[in-house]
Amino acid sequence: MQKLFFYEEIMLLALRDKEGTIASGAMYTFALSGAIVAELLLQERVKIDETRRNKLLDVIDDKPLGDPLLDECLLKIKNARRRASLSTWVSRFSGIKKLKHRVAQHLCQRGILRMDEDQILFIFTRKIYPELNPIPEREIKERIEHAIFTETNDIDSRTVVLISLAKSTNLLHANFDKKQLKKQKKRIKQITEGEMTGKAAAEAIAAMQAAVMAATMVPIMAAATVSN
């Protein structure tokens, strides 16, 4: 099977396997949008302008990746009237229409998920995506477990980025025992701060974490303003 992109891996971590619904507490839209930007960074289609305080994102290679969602997002950055920050693009991509369904349906085409319908209160219906092939998600979790729960220093950049995204959006807690994660707090910090990867990847990880956190704070602050 072709390797999965970050956003596909994130969706598998966000979905409950049997129910095909999103795990509670998972900020999955920001995880997905952060994963899109992370993929474009690691595929060297965009770069972060480190000379600017607000971490502007620039296209350095507009060659399509052959993935409709990633290519669409790359084109949005390229055709934007004004340069925008990393956190701005994470926020914008989180608002892509039917993002969850687009990603899930792509995984259905790969034979990993299947689309079904669920009835709510016998009135409303919703699309759900139970797992059809558990192997890809199992392999993702095994990679994460090996990185977090062993003392290995051999952790590839993609796994480091994936763990960083999962930590920033509550997906680690949605998939692994909270007590065990707490015991590995120092280890997780080492991984997510880029101590086990190259300088370029470490800088991208730090910027991505800040961007995802900034993007997730906007709706929280807006809700607090309304409630007051």
Has residue 153 been placed in a domain? yes
- Here the CATH number for the domain that contains residue 80 is 1.10.3630.10
**50-70 pLDDT tens trace:** 787 778 999 999 999 999 999
Indicate whether 28 belongs to any domain. yes
Residue at 228 is within a domain: no
CB neighbour list of residue 112: distance below 8 Å, 6 or more residues apart: 12, 131, 132, 133, 136, 137
Assigned token pair, 26 = 């998972």
Stated pTM of the model: 0.86
Tell me what percent of the chain is helix, strand and coil, each rounded to the nearest 5.
55, 10, 30
In a domain, 37, yes or no: yes
| Cβ-based neighbour number of residue 182 at 10 Å | 10
Q: Could you list the residue range(s) of the whole structural domain that residue 113 is in?
A: 6-219
- The mean-pLDDT minimum among 145-154, 174-183, 213-222 falls in 213-222
CA distance 78 to 111: 32
| Total domains, the chain | 1
Q: To the nearest whole percent, how much of the chain has pLDDT over 70?
A: 84
Distance CA 58, CA 62 (A): 10
What are phi and psi for residue 83, nearest 5 degrees? -65, 145
Which amino acid, 158? R
**Best-predicted range by mean pLDDT (17-31, 41-55, 57-71):** 57-71
